[in-house]
Amino acid sequence: MIELIPAIDLIDGKCVRLTKGDYDTKKIYSEDPLEAAKLFEDCGMQRLHVVDLDGARAGRIVNYKALERLSSRTSLAIDFGGGLKCTDDLRVAFDCGARMATGGSIAVKDPDSFASWITLFGSDRIILGADVKDNRIAVSGWEETTDYELIPFIDAYREKGITQVITTDISRDGTLRGPSIDMYREMLEALPEVYIIASGGVSSIGDIERLEEAGIPAVIFGKAFYEGRITTAELMRFA
């Protein structure tokens, strides 16, 4: 069964969602992210994807206190990303309770450091963030598009030990238009050894079911739940 991973995006310690990564579209869903995290936990979720959007912009970890609160007051296995650019920041994230950490921009801008994280912390704790716009990797809070193509970029890190990748189709993130299933199918065919985590565009439990039918092992969802398009009963059925 496909693994369901709820998402909490943080700005100023609050649970928010953006559309297509545009900070001007910020919508606050909860003043206290712990309330959302406990709800997911009650629905049987075991993992939580937390993104420090302030950190993504600042290039350093910012919302570590919120991370510590989420990790200490739930049993959810948290993967944390956003602004992790150096080993010290990574250690802060782990010290604050993150089980895993996602590196995106650093994997492009400082590949030697990112590769060293895989060796230092293990491939079970380091996730590659390969977010894509028009088949090109985007970084720096999605404000910069690179020349790297999606599948070759991931494959190069597979050779360095990466086993998990989160890929967000930026054109669909927060739009509730449905995920890019064909893109994930291509990834699955080209990268059968990689645990592919789909992200962006999920609008209903039906979208999740279609990803499962396509063989995608995991999916991140957020806005569809916060907007009431996915119910707690539906989550419990999957859990």
Residues noted as catalytic: 9, 131
What is the phi/psi pair of residue 223, to 5°? -60, -40
Helix axes 64-73, 87-95, angle to 10 degrees: 30
Q: Residue 4, CB half-sphere, CA atoms under 13 Å: how many?
A: 25
Token pair for 210: 């279609």
d(CA 179, CA 100): 24
Q: Give, in order, the Cα–Cα distances in Å from 154 to each of 30, 43, 49, 69, 166.
A: 34, 32, 20, 32, 10
Residues 6 or more apart in contact with residue 209 via CB below 8 angstroms:
none
